[in-house]
Amino acid sequence: MSIDPNTPVLLGAGQFTERLDDQFEGLMPEDLAARACEAAMADTAAAELLSPLIDRLACVRLFAHSVPDFIVPAIAPFGRSSSPPLSILSRLTLPNASAIYSRACGDEPQRLVFELGNALARGKINGAIICGAEALATSRQLQRQGLSADWSDEPDGETDDRGACTELLFDAELNRHGAWNPVDIYPLLEQVRRGELGFSKSAYRAQLAELMVRFSSVAAANPYAMFGDAMTAAEIGEESSENRLMGDPHLKSMVAKDGVNQASALVLTRWETAQSLGVADRAIFLHGHGTGSEPQVLNRRSIGESEAMSAAYRDALAVARIEAEQIGAADLYSCFPIAVWVAMDALGMSLDDPRPLTLTGGLPFFGGPGNNYSTHGIVEVVHWLRAQSEPSYGVVGANGGYLSKHAVGVYANIPAEFPAAVPEFKASEVVSVVSDPEPDGVIESYTVQPRKGSTTAVVVGRQVSDGRRWVGVADPNDAALLAWFQKADPLGEKVMVSVGERNIVRRRTQ
């Protein structure tokens, strides 16, 4: 087919991982990102000629700029750059590149591919790099060793800083009952899915292990994985001192691990540029793109599903004009198993589907480099597609928040027009939330949080009278009640709720 010379293409893809081994240098995030950018430029096979054409460098927002100010000292104890993209540019030879600093959340990498691809197609830019990095493993290692470092930087220049935009991640009712973090909130979603499928707690944990073992085996063969040791399904599904309970039903081996030193980068330009540089054979094309967003967790129709994620996959496939069966490989966002299940449902994939669910190894095994994980996923899809001898399609699903924001890309090693924009699917608020619930309620979801010195059970329920949602905690003074949450299956059980600073949940006496 005739290819429009202005068609955007992915021409380079690179990664860099620093492990805590005898090669350890103690690199800061911007160092890691610069090395990934250099790898991506080298991957184009035309780095020297392409460098002057790169006029945008977009950095996916680091953890250190994604959290509230009071948490920053814990995330960035050695300081941080005022503009990571400018700090990265200072390490590279890209004389014409301006800086973009993205919003937070894991959907940003795919959104940036579409945004910068559009800018290329319209002639607004000539080339772009998308990159990101995290160095939390180094930060923690230096602190353990009692060492200091200076990671602060005040680079000169202007940055298109989009802000964190993390308001959607905070929910007053969940927060006041002790559910602040993904490890607290994703289990609430997972338990609802378990209940809807009718699985016992033990049977569901076994299914989670069978899913995650597929990710572990891929990470074990990936040279860029931070955690390369393969685990069996039995090891993943068995609670132990090394595989502790994080939040029922998730064990440590099933959830994203942010203690990584990882970076990745993509190089985008136009088809005519790839041709003129003699490297058109390296080009990969974006065929489809879809996005979606959800309301706050407690306002959703079902907190075990995501209409927005399903819509994002549906729209991306529709724009690419293919069916899900034509996808040869996927990299599905895997911060927690529920994110994978919902994506698989959207694609009609089952647990025994032979196609790869990940090309990296996923966030629990490859590593979870913050908001930038899906840049790694896209890098792996680029290399996978290049290796295919036949026309092939790969899909990347990028997720942000608590199944809150989604961006899906369909990529191929065959030319296509750059995908047209499709309006973002926005799921509606369906369920109302009450902060001072009536006494009679029914348990919709729960999770047990094992913490040093105490155990808490966070409960999401519905008012019997009108179906509005509420949040509470199991009576902390009732050991038998906490044991019930730990060992029994409280989903669907009727309870009594007492209103207070935190709503207290107790079993009905009759």
| Domains present along the chain, CATH in parentheses | 8-169+257-426 (3.40.47.10), 440-507 (2.40.50.840)
Please state the φ and ψ torsions of residue 161, each to the nearest 5 degrees.
Answer: -95, 115
pLDDT confidence of residue 258 = 96
Q: Which residues does 479 contact at the CB level (< 8 Å), separation at least 6? A: none
> In which residue ranges of the chain is pLDDT below 70?
1, 510
- Is it true that the peptide bond before 249 is cis, omega within 30 degrees of 0? yes
The pair of structure tokens assigned to 499 is: 């209103």
The pair of structure tokens assigned to 392 is: 């092939």
CB burial of residue 51 (10 Å; 0-12, 13-18, 19+): middle
pLDDT confidence of residue 508 = 86
Q: How many CB atoms are located within 10 Å of the residue 269 CB?
A: 26
In the DSSP assignment, the letter for residue 284 is B
pLDDT confidence of residue 34 = 98
| Paired strand residues for 331 | 396
